[in-house]
Amino acid sequence: MSFSLFGKKNRILLKELVKTDFKLRYQGSVLGYMWAVIKPLLMFAILYVVFAKVLRFGDAIPHYPVYLLTGTVLWNFFTECTQQGIHSIEQRGELLRKISFPKYIVVVSATSTAVINVLINLCVVIVFTLINGVMPSLSWLMILPLLLELYIFALGISLLLSSINIKYRDVGNIWDVLMQAMFYAVPIIYPLSMVTETSMLVGKIMMLNPVAQIIQDVRENLITPATITGWELSGPVWGLISVGAVAIVFVVSVLFFKKRSKYFAEEL
């Protein structure tokens, strides 16, 4: 099985699956596609009231509302990507049994819906950034490669876990629990400085998580250079570890998915 999206038939199939997934996501909803923007904004509003106004987490952070919104949007993107990707093969079982095509297309199409949503949400983030008084700069161009890095990491996890979830349906539930725990292990609602002031080692370990690394890098390039990043904490070598982890996870996941895909029809 080739992992190429450049074949004409593969591109057409991927396009149709993405359109179908996106339409089904909001089918029957009164607000429809507006939920792609409303949902993360509502989550941001709740977190902002609790952690900024009540607990005062953002007092020392420049432009904290945008800082929090950016972290929330990127976290939602990663969560949506992996949750949709893990169940994609299972949900497309009937199609996989009837038609012969590269199975990875199903996972890519499921995660592509999250890509559409995050691009819409990033437009909202940029508007809020400008309203908050942040001046545009060339560093904003770094957002796209960082977003690509986050997508590759999420896609790798989706490929790996979706192929396991077919046989062991508990995988999706376990991942949901892990995501709840990971939400508090990533500096989304609190500044990383709160951790490093207590333990520099814990801060360095947290930044080995590619999701944490990417969120902090996006904040640094989009909002304020005062954002603490992995490179700042431990130098380029430590910072490259999380990038290397993304590459390793993706390659291992692709190989595992390729090996397991021949058994999907039997196990679905």
pLDDT in tens, 184-243: 899 998 888 889 988 999 998 898 899 999 999 999 999 988 888 888 887 777 778 888
What's at 250, amino acid-wise? F
Closest to 239 measured CA to CA, from 205, 196, 208: 208
Check residue 151 and give its pLDDT: 97
Q: Answer yes or no: is pLDDT of 111 > 70.
A: yes
Nearest-5° angle of CA 5, CA 212, CA 190? 140
* 26 pLDDT higher than 70: no
Torsion over CA: 153, 154, 159, 165 (sign): positive
On the question of pLDDT at 58 being above 50, the answer is yes
Q: Which of 193, 184, 186 is nearest to 60 (CA)?
A: 193
Residue 2 lies in a domain: no
The predicted model gives 71-87 an average pLDDT of: 93
CA dist., res. 80 & res. 41, Å (int) = 15
Is residue 203 included in any domain, yes or no? Answer: yes
- Residue 234: the pLDDT is 75
How many degrees, rounded to 5, is the angle at CA 176 between CA 228 and CA 144? Answer: 40
Q: Is the pLDDT of residue 1 over 60?
A: no
* Structural domain total, the chain: 1
Q: What is the mean pLDDT of the chain?
A: 85
Host domain of residue 132:
8-267
Q: Whole-angstrom Cα distance, residue 80 to residue 182?
A: 14
**Residue 3 placed within a domain:** no
Which carries the bigger pLDDT value, residue 50 or residue 162? 162
Q: Is the pLDDT of residue 2 over 50?
A: no
Q: Is residue 1 part of a domain?
A: no
Q: For residue 104, is it within any domain?
A: yes
Question: What is the C-alpha separation between 68 and 63, in angstroms, rounded?
Answer: 9
Q: Which of 153-157, 174-178, 194-198 has the lowest mean pLDDT?
A: 194-198
